[in-house]
Amino acid sequence: MLNMRIIKKLLTGSAIALGLATSALAAGGGVAWDKAPNRISDMGSLQNGAKLFVNYCLNCHSAAFMRYTRLQDIGLTQDQIKNSLLVTDSKIGDTMVASLAPKQATEFFGKNPPDLTVIARSRAGANGTGADYLYTYMRTFYRDDNSPTGWNNLVFPNVGMPHVLWELQGERRAVMDHETHAFKGWEQVTPGSMSAAEYDHAVGDLVNYLQWMAEPAQTTRQIIGAWVLVFLAGLSFLTWRLNKAYWKDIT
Amino acid sequence: MAEFHEISPNASLGEKTLNWVDNRFPLSKLFKEHMSEYYAPKNFNIWYIFGSLSLLVLVIQIVTGIFLVMHYKPDAALAFASVEYIMRDVPWGWLIRYMHSTGASAFFVLVYLHMFRGLMYGSYRKPRELVWLFGCGIFLALMAEAFMGYLLPWGQMSYWGAQVIVNLFSAIPFIGPDLALLIRGDFVVGDATLNRFFSFHVIAVPLVLLGLVVAHIIALHEVGSNNPDGVEIKATKDANGKPLDGIPFHPYYSVHDIFGVSVFLFVFSAIVFFAPEMGGYFLEYNNFIPADPFQTPLHIAPVWYFTPFYTLLRAVTTELMYVLQACVAVGAVLAVVKGKLPMVFKAGIVGAAVVIIAMMHSIDPKFWGVVAMGGGVVILFFLPWLDNSPVKSIRYRPDWHKYLYALFVVNFLVIGYLGTQPVSDIAGRISQAGTLFYFGFFLLMPWWSRLGTFKPVPSRVTFTPH
């Protein structure tokens, strides 16, 4: 009983101390990230995301650890992959390599665009998941005449990448407060081929695909995990009873 | 040397086989000594599960490690890709990898709890000093194992974490730069570093670790386990020479441990299958970016289990050095004034204090930071000789000792948390206070552990049947 009291004291004490330390250190700044929609088991969304990815991202970025064949996991057949997604001269067993050669990309953008295979896992942080970051990033490009590409971004200021989806979203300007330089809102300059809601939905699909591609086994992992936990809960019950039965004799 | 034992020809095949083996190898003898006739106190509580669980995790790490090495490539150009290959293309590779990465963190959780148990119940006190020393050796080896293993995925955190820690060695006067060069095998962390860390991680350190674990258990079984009351069960024996408060490890504690293992595996699996990144603490987000020697991450933090010691390192600044110098001076004055020592010793203490203060003044605080970080671990080895309390277990110590231990735990968690955060003014001050408390707790223990009103220790363990 004494031990329980000590443990309780330790726990409350440390919780308070950690709470104080956290609030003292809570760092402000940066743009809040929007919550990305979770459609990880929606095959239609993943397939649409894969299409957007191959058409827009794969020109400059690679996903060098991701094999085309793995797209069968999101409900595509080998023929579908070959006919509509294999735009480069890659084979279906190959990994996704950018059309643009790294050397040329470095000349264009100043550095080789990062590999996107696990980008959704690497961009998580205090503001949200990696998917939240990407969802916000792809929706906060704006026209900026001072930048070399003519584009800038709210969550990634002075980004080297131009807005590849600008035809879908249209051109926008960011309205900034004159004194604080804080972001106030958007001003649509030219219309895109999609409405704002359609665009958000499309980016949601793209990010959903990136999230899936970062760990294709994630859905399987959770399904197996549920069964493993059911088994271990049963095992814990049995071993608890076994332990009780043996310890009856100890007085 | 046992005599050759003949068995009746009517015995069963199993008995005959066992007899054949026992005449050539002490199988039954070992089983009796370490399991069925190893008497453990019957009053163990939940704190006594973490030793067996650590052993389980060691086995998990070795087995999953064997399978990972089959697919991993220790090559700076291929390492990151080979880990992703394991995660994607190797059947069940993701499971093996997550078990290994979660196992590393689980190992430290268990070992920290196991060590705190020893601290609470005085399990390092006579005659268990060697059990404790081997244990501290295991902790040190484990830290080396984890540090080198963390470089292998070759992500940004792997790379820059190793770069920062290895650079620390170059702060050591005279030999530092050459030592750092020897560790890296190159002027920066690179392919040579990856190869030697791989070799140490999969061969050298595990061998040391296994040897130490065997020594730890042999020493423990020689002296017998301590218990939450800190009572020596061997002091009260029955007519057959068996401790009255002891029960055979097998089956009583084997069934206990099997239950503990089931519950542990439930928690472990919940993490492996549902939160393998554990919010960026078990697998850091930055480590999903391949190592880039030309791009330093904004914020470099070691994995959570190193962060308390990392805080000790960062807390040592020029300012704190003045405080530490004052501490040494005060300590020396107290020893001279209060201590009942011959003049020669007193002169020696003053001389040593002057030399230490001069060194603290002239050598870069960065070096003393390294000393603090190393010292934070090494000081644990001295615990058996720092604790002067007349009783072993915290149960019979004055109440304020319990609060002090509670404060030690809170402090350890706070400096651990601060080690994960970027430096700031407030955090720096809290870290320095935490560092002084951490060392003060141990260095002043010979004094404070004697103080207060101790409760009478019973002659038999306290046990309520359950």
pLDDT tens column, B47-65? 999 999 999 999 999 999 9
Residues from chain A that touch B297, judged by Cβ atoms under 8 A, are none
**DSSP line for B392-433:** SSGGGS-HHHHHHHHHHHHHHHHHHHHHHSPP-HHHHHHHHH
A11 touches chain B (CB under 8 A): no
Amino acid identity for residue B327 in this structure: C
| Of residues B325, B276, B299, B339, the one with CA closest to residue B427 | B299
Q: What is the dihedral angle through the alpha carbons of B364, B365, B367, B370, rounded to the nearest 10 degrees?
A: -170
Q: What is the C-alpha separation between A243 and A248, in angstroms, rounded?
A: 9
pLDDT tens column, B400-409? 999 999 999 9
The distance of B181 to chain A (nearest Cα, Å) reads 31
B238 touches chain A (CB under 8 A): no
- What pLDDT is recorded for position A100? 87
- What pLDDT is recorded for position A101? 87
Tell me the average pLDDT of chain B.
95
- What pLDDT is recorded for position B1? 56
Rounded average pLDDT over B141-146 = 97
Residues from chain B that touch A122, judged by Cβ atoms under 8 A, are 285-289
Contact A164, A133 (CB under 8 A): no
Contact B288 A118 (CB under 8 A): yes
Q: What is the C-alpha separation between A111 and B329, in angstroms, rounded?
A: 56
Beta bridge mates, B162: none
Considering only CB atoms, A122 lies closest to which of B81, B87, B289, namely: B289
| Of residues B369, B371, B441, the one with CA closest to residue B409 | B441
Q: What is the C-alpha separation between A227 and B129, in angstroms, rounded?
A: 44
Query: In terms of CA atoms, which chain A residue is nearest residue B248?
Result: A250
Compute how many other C-beta atoms are within 10 angstroms of the C-beta atom of residue B415.
27
B400 touches chain A (CB under 8 A): no
Which residues neighbour B271 within 8 Å (Cβ) at sequence distance 6 or greater? B102, B106, B278, B282
**Cα radius of gyration rounded to whole Å, chain A:** 25
Contact B89 A115 (CB under 8 A): no
Compute how many other C-beta atoms are within 10 angstroms of the C-beta atom of residue B451.
12
Q: Residue A88 phi/psi, 5° resolution? A: -85, -175
Among A residues 32-91, those touching chain B with beta carbons less than 8 Å apart? 64-67, 70
A236 touches chain B (CB under 8 A): yes
Compute how many other C-beta atoms are within 10 angstroms of the C-beta atom of residue A22.
11
Site from B233, B255, B420 to mutate, A interface, most A CB atoms within 10 angstroms: B255
Rounded average pLDDT over A193-205 = 96
Rounded average pLDDT over B422-437 = 94
Considering only CB atoms, B252 lies closest to which of A115, A123, A247, namely: A247
Site from B39, B88, B412 to mutate, A interface, most A CB atoms within 10 angstroms: B88
| Of residues B148, B438, B172, the one with CA closest to residue B308 | B438
pLDDT tens column, B262-306? 999 999 999 999 999 999 999 999 999 999 999 999 888 899 999
Contact B328, B360 (CB under 8 A): yes
The distance of A127 to chain B (nearest Cα, Å) reads 12
Among A residues 204-223, those touching chain B with beta carbons less than 8 Å apart? 214-217, 221-222
Q: If residue A175 lies in a helix (H) or strand (E), which one and from where to where?
A: strand A170-176
Site from B112, B116, B403, B409 to mutate, A interface, most A CB atoms within 10 angstroms: B409
B273 touches chain A (CB under 8 A): yes
Alpha helix (H) residue ranges in chain A = 2-25, 43-52, 78-80, 102-109, 119-122, 130-137, 166-169, 196-214, 218-247
Helix, strand, coil % in chain A, rounded to nearest 5: 50, 10, 35
Rounded average pLDDT over B89-97 = 97
Query: What token pair was written down for A89?
Result: 């001269």
Considering only CB atoms, A122 lies closest to which of B81, B98, B288, namely: B288
Query: In terms of CA atoms, which chain B residue is nearest residue A238?
Result: B259
Per DSSP, chain B holds a count of helices (H) and strands (E) of: 19, 2
Q: Where are the domains of chain A?
A: 4-216, 220-251
Rounded average pLDDT over B166-182 = 92
Q: Residue A207 phi/psi, 5° resolution? A: -65, -35
Q: What is the C-alpha separation between B148 and B151, in angstroms, rounded?
A: 6
Q: What percent of chain B has pLDDT over 90?
A: 89
Q: What is the DSSP letter of B368?
A: H
Contact A18, B413 (CB under 8 A): yes
Rounded average pLDDT over B297-316 = 93
Query: In the CATH scheme, what is the code of domain A4-216?
Result: 1.10.760.10
Compute how many other C-beta atoms are within 10 angstroms of the C-beta atom of residue A15.
12
- What pLDDT is recorded for position A48? 97
**Cα radius of gyration rounded to whole Å, chain B:** 25
Contact B254, B38 (CB under 8 A): no
The distance of A231 to chain B (nearest Cα, Å) reads 9
Rounded average pLDDT over A217-231 = 97
Contact B409 A10 (CB under 8 A): yes
Contact A146, A173 (CB under 8 A): no
Lowest average pLDDT, out of A140-144, A228-232, B230-234, B332-336, goes to B332-336
Q: What is the C-alpha separation between B98 and B361, in angstroms, rounded?
A: 47
Lowest average pLDDT, out of B82-86, B134-138, B141-145, B234-238, goes to B234-238
Judge whether residue B336 has pLDDT over 70. yes
Q: What is the C-alpha separation between B361 and A31, in angstroms, rounded?
A: 45
Query: What token pair was written down for A153?
Result: 């971004």
Judge whether residue B331 has pLDDT over 50. yes
Q: What is the C-alpha separation between A241 and B2, in angstroms, rounded?
A: 40
- What pLDDT is recorded for position A181? 81
Exposed/middle/buried for A114, CB within 10 Å: 0-12, 13-18, 19+?
middle
pLDDT tens column, B363-388? 989 999 999 999 999 999 999 999 99
- What pLDDT is recorded for position B258? 97
Beta bridge mates, A143: A151
| Of residues B191, B121, B394, B81, the one with CA closest to residue A97 | B81
Rounded average pLDDT over A154-183 = 91
- What pLDDT is recorded for position A89? 80
- What pLDDT is recorded for position A6? 52
pLDDT tens column, A5-54? 555 555 555 554 444 444 433 333 468 999 999 999 999 999 999 999 99
Judge whether residue A87 has pLDDT over 80. no
Lowest average pLDDT, out of A22-36, A78-92, B37-51, goes to A22-36
A14 touches chain B (CB under 8 A): yes
Residues from chain B that touch A215, judged by Cβ atoms under 8 A, are 87, 94
- What pLDDT is recorded for position A184? 87
A19 touches chain B (CB under 8 A): no
Site from B44, B284, B285 to mutate, A interface, most A CB atoms within 10 angstroms: B285
Q: What is the dihedral angle through the alpha carbons of B325, B330, B332, B338, rounded to the nearest 10 degrees?
A: -170
| pTM higher than the cut 0.90 | yes
Helix, strand, coil % in chain B, rounded to nearest 5: 70, 0, 30
Judge whether residue A126 has pLDDT over 60. yes
Q: If residue A96 lies in a helix (H) or strand (E), which one and from where to where?
A: strand A95-96
Which residues neighbour A191 within 8 Å (Cβ) at sequence distance 6 or greater? A170
| Of residues B225, B263, B42, B207, the one with CA closest to residue B131 | B225
Rounded average pLDDT over B8-16 = 93
Contact B255 A239 (CB under 8 A): yes
Residues from chain A that touch B265, judged by Cβ atoms under 8 A, are 232, 235
- What pLDDT is recorded for position A102? 87
Q: If residue B322 lies in a helix (H) or strand (E), which one and from where to where?
A: helix B318-338
Q: If residue B373 lies in a helix (H) or strand (E), which one and from where to where?
A: helix B365-378
Considering only CB atoms, A21 lies closest to which of B87, B262, B414, namely: B414
pLDDT tens column, B223-265? 999 999 999 999 999 999 899 999 999 999 999 999 999 999 9
pLDDT grade for A84, boundaries at 50, 70 and 90:
confident
Q: In the A/B pair of chains, how many CB contacts fall below 8 A? A: 141
Contact B290, B80 (CB under 8 A): yes
- What pLDDT is recorded for position A20? 43
Contact B255 A235 (CB under 8 A): no
Which residues neighbour B189 within 8 Å (Cβ) at sequence distance 6 or greater? B151, B159, B162, B163, B166, B293
- Beta strands A151-153 and A183-191 are unpaired
The distance of B86 to chain A (nearest Cα, Å) reads 10
